[in-house]
Amino acid sequence: MSDSGEYWFCLKHHTVEGNDGCRNADRLGPYATAEEASRALEKVQERNEEWDNDPNWNDEQLED
């Protein structure tokens, strides 16, 4: 798939791609392995949940 050792997750096609895939604006990555790239959306969801529940962030300060 990718000789360079870099993989991306394509947001348009929901597939793992190598260097010759879709344009970078439509992809997440690069990742070191195809396995990591295949979990890109899961990782995004995990990070969003962590950030949403971060006790150091206080949305109430922005509501003034």
Q: How many residues does the chain have?
A: 64
Taking only the tens place, the pLDDT of each residue in 3-59 is: 568 999 999 999 999 999 999 999 999 999 999 999 999 999 999 999 888 888 766
Phi-psi region of 30 (alpha: psi -120 to 50; beta: other; left: phi over 0): beta
Does the pLDDT value for residue 64 go beyond 90? no
d(CA 37, CA 52): 23
CB atoms within 10 A of CB 49: 10
Phi, psi dihedral angles at 38 (to 5 degrees):
-65, -20
Q: What is the pTM of this model?
A: 0.74
Identify whether the C-beta of residue 58 lies closer than 8 Å to the C-beta of residue 26.
Answer: no
